[in-house]
């Protein structure tokens, strides 16, 4: 009996609420306006930050530290950016072969892989931790960040300042829709990485002579 009474009261309350909304929609309009305004401001704020470096400090582990120093001592620092799949020897061998063909990379220069994974696109941090590891003889630098292109750009500038050499970074073109990539970047911190990385670098370092080089090829 009490359950039926409560259900009836709930229905009456819901009906009354709907009637009030229909007859006096001003409250809903005002609430909707402020909700829309908050969403718009949040979106504009995120877009405004798309070309910021965001990373102010790096924590480099011993292996990564050694990889960087040895690469700088042997020649031009060449970085292949990679989205890890199997993370095995065959993947890295294939990536180097493709980039050598696309960009005619000198065999005397050492190559480092850089892999940046998105940990939480909503969590912004100014510290980037970089760890080094060897996979089948290939040297890999791995890091996490809320946004991939900005992290890569910041790391390239870090390499320049640390070694006194301009690093060269190599990318594949994305194979998807550019508009979809833009949405992925704004919402999830990743997308077609190469053009955004270049734009972040362009704004962070106006002098082309001191700007790390970006190379894009392949599919």
Which domain range does residue 140 map to?
57-217
Please count the residues of the chain: 219
Residues 84 and 115 in one domain: yes
Residue 137, domain CATH: 3.40.50
Q: How far is CA 216 from the centre of its chain?
A: 17
User: Is residue 151 very low, low, confident or very high in pLDDT (cuts 50, 70, 90)?
Assistant: very high
What is the rounded CA–CA span in Å between residue 142 and residue 79? Answer: 12
**Cβ-contact 128, 143 below 8 angstroms:** yes
**Cβ-contact 200, 51 below 8 angstroms:** yes
User: Is residue 205 very low, low, confident or very high in pLDDT (cuts 50, 70, 90)?
Assistant: very high
User: Is residue 177 very low, low, confident or very high in pLDDT (cuts 50, 70, 90)?
Assistant: very low
Instruction: Dump pLDDT digits (tens) for 22-78.
Output: 666 665 666 565 566 665 555 555 555 566 777 888 999 999 999 999 999 998 999
Residues 134 and 188 in one domain: yes
Instruction: Dump pLDDT digits (tens) for 63-116.
Output: 999 999 999 999 899 999 998 888 899 999 999 999 988 888 888 888 999 999
Residues 31 and 91 in one domain: no
**How many domains, in total, are found in the chain?**
2
Residues 35 and 92 in one domain: no
What is the rounded CA–CA span in Å between residue 134 and residue 64? Answer: 10
Instruction: Note if the pTM is more than 0.85.
Output: no
What is the rounded CA–CA span in Å between residue 218 and residue 214? Answer: 14
Q: How far is CA 14 from the centre of its chain?
A: 45
Instruction: Dump pLDDT digits (tens) for 127-150.
Output: 899 999 999 999 999 998 888 899
pLDDT at 124: 59
Beta-carbon count within 10 A of 159 CB: 24
Residues 99 and 193 in one domain: yes
Residues 97 and 198 in one domain: yes
Residues 86 and 193 in one domain: yes
């Amino acid at each position: 009996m009490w359950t039926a009474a409560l259900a009836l009261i709930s229905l009456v309350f819901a009906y009354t609420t709907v009637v009030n909304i229909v007859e006096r929609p001003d409250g809903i309009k005002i609430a909707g306006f402020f909700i829309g305004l908050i969403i718009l401001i949040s979106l504009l704020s995120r877009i405004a930050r798309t070309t910021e470096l965001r990373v102010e400090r790096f924590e480099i582990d011993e292996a990564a530290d050694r990889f960087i120093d040895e690469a700088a001592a042997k020649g031009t620092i060449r970085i292949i950016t990679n989205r890890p799949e199997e993370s095995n020897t065959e993947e890295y061998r294939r990536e180097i072969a493709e980039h050598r063909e696309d960009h005619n990379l000198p065999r005397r220069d050492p190559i480092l892989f850089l892999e940046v994974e998105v940990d939480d696109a909503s969590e912004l941090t100014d510290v980037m931790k970089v760890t080094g590891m060897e996979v089948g003889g290939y040297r890999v630098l791995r890091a996490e960040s809320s946004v991939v292109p900005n992290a890569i750009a910041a790391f390239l500038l870090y390499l320049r300042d640390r070694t006194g050499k301009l690093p060269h970074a190599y990318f594949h073109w994305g194979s998807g829709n550019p508009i979809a990539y833009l949405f992925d970047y704004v919402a999830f911190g990743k997308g077609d990485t190469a053009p955004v990385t270049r734009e972040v670098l362009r704004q962070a370092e106006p002098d082309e002579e001191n700007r790390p080089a970006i190379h894009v090829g392949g599919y």
